Structure 1
């Protein structure tokens, strides 16, 4: 019995998930602000830096979660679920940062309405991911479990919306864009932006699995 009492238990995984979720929301909102103010170089660079800062902060949280997994004997949910969830969440911010960097690398000069719409949908997805994560510590309550599944369904619907916007944007791009360089640039941006909502859906699927096993 003494050995069991001395083993590290639980850790603060849920708090770390919440902190990471906050970084995701911060990064996505900074990315949207960058798109909205893209014509202002100073503001563009400021918000791009905020995206980078959020990604770096999230990386530290991910590293701490993985460190805790090695030290904690009894975890609040399955170890593989913890590992899979934190890494999938980290992928969201990696994609936000990748998209921001690609815009700069490709020297994209202006934003289209479709880029703006996809960015807005990315923020909504990220906000729902962060909200779903905050519910994980209370899944033993049936009402919370139901709310979590509902939030995951909202993420699925937003991902479908983003997919439709992306398909429409691609169709318009190939019909109307005469400059092949701009076409290549925007095609890459659209695909990256749509992949953000895809990754949010991946997180939602992981959370739904956690709900089924732990509620």
Structure 2
């Protein structure tokens, strides 16, 4: 009995989730600004640096959550759910950074309307994920649990929108693009952008599972 009392309980997992969510929002918005100002080299590099900074900040939070899991005896939600959620969230920001870096590595000089639309949907998904995560500490309130599920449903709809934009973008790309190098570059960028919304949907599914088990 004494042993159990001496072991750490709960931990500040929800605070860390929120901190990671803040980094995700910052990274999402900086990525969106990068695409919107892509023609300005200075601004492009500035926002790319901000995406990197957000990703690095999120990595530190992820490491802290995983460290805390090893030190905490009783967690507020299932340990596997905590581990799965924080790592899935981290994957989202990793993908934002990957696209930002790929645009530079592939020397993409200009972007298409479809890239802008997919980037906008990806950024919105990232923000909705952060919002859903911010509600997890209050799931005992039925109205909050319902709001969390509704936010997850919004993420699902955004992911479906991204699928439609992706299919249309690919169709247009293969019909109209004559330069094979540009076709290969844009195809990779489209796929990476769509994968961000896929990963956000994965996070939403994890959150819905947490809601079902803890509300």
Coarse TM-score class (shorter-chain normalised): over 0.9
Query: Hey, what's the Cα distance between the residues in 2 that align with 1:65 and 1:52?
Result: 20
Q: What residue number does 2:94 align with?
A: 94
Given the alignment of the two structures, is residue 214 of structure 1 paired with residue 187 of structure 2, yes or no?
A: no
Q: What residue number does 1:55 align with?
A: 55
Which runs of 5 or more residues in structure 2 are unaligned? none
Offset at residue 5 of structure 1 (A): 2.1
Cα offsets for 1:15-65 (capped at 9, x unmatched) = 000010111111011111111111111110010000000000000000000
State the secondary structure of the residue aligned to 2:75: coil
Aligned residues between the structures: 215
TM-score normalized with structure 1 length = 0.99
State the secondary structure of the residue aligned to 1:150: helix
4+ residue segments displaced more than 6 Å: none
Offset at residue 4 of structure 1 (A): 2.4
Matches within 5 A, 1:191-206: 191-206=191-206
Query: Hey, what's the Cα distance between the residues in 1 that align with 2:100 and 2:121?
Result: 16
Q: What residue number does 1:26 align with?
A: 26
TM-score normalized with structure 2 length = 0.99
RMSD of the alignment, in Å?
A: 0.6
Given the alignment of the two structures, is residue 153 of structure 1 paired with residue 158 of structure 2, yes or no?
A: no
Q: What residue number does 2:83 align with?
A: 83
Offset at residue 134 of structure 1 (A): 0.6
Given the alignment of the two structures, is residue 184 of structure 1 paired with residue 184 of structure 2, yes or no?
A: yes
Matches within 5 A, 1:68-147: 68-147=68-147
Offset at residue 141 of structure 1 (A): 1.1
Q: What residue number does 1:12 align with?
A: 12
Offset at residue 123 of structure 1 (A): 1.2
Query: Hey, what's the Cα distance between the residues in 2 that align with 1:115 and 1:57?
Result: 26
